[in-house]
Amino acid sequence: MPDQTKRVGPGQPGGGELPLRVETASEGEAVVCRLIGSDTMEACQWLNERLAEAGQMTGKILVIDLSELNFICSLGLGSIVAAYLRARKLGMPTRLVGPRPEVMDVLALTKLDTLMPVYGTVGDAVGVWRSPSGRG
């Protein structure tokens, strides 16, 4: 089955003029959500909806790629936690990927980096998950 990519954000149908873009793709057994731009308070409900849609895609692991996210507000963190909880109910582990230092600082301060493992690349997150010791 070919990978499916859904891009929503500024300049995309249904995207509005938010400073955040989300690209969701099925990459093998992983559902990968790439957050691009800034997650401001105005974008949080929209982000929550996009992550909820991603959780409904077929996959065995949810990967949230933060490598192109330059800001996240507290409500955005809540959206990520909500996605984690939804995925957990489905038996899908959640992995975070490549946060910039300023985003990583927020993840560490809130201890979310202990709830969801953080990896350097999507390949690392999926590769570790595929190994017997990395599941869960």
- pLDDT tens digits, one per residue of 112-132: 999 999 999 999 998 865 655
The mean pLDDT value of the chain amounts to: 84
Residue 47 contacts by C-beta under 8 Å, 6 or more apart in sequence? Answer: 20, 22, 35, 39, 76, 79
What digits encode the pLDDT tens for the residues 41-85?
888 888 989 999 888 887 899 999 999 999 999 999 999 999 999
Q: Does residue 71 sit in helix, strand or coil?
A: strand
Instruction: Label residue 60 left, alpha or beta by phi (over 0 means left) and psi (-120 to 50 means alpha).
Output: alpha
Count of the separate structural domains present in the chain: 1
pLDDT value at position 135?
47
Domain that holds residue 16: 5-134
- Determine the Cα–Cα distance for residues 43 and 24; give it in Å rounded to an integer: 16
Q: Which CATH number covers residue 31? A: 3.30.750.24
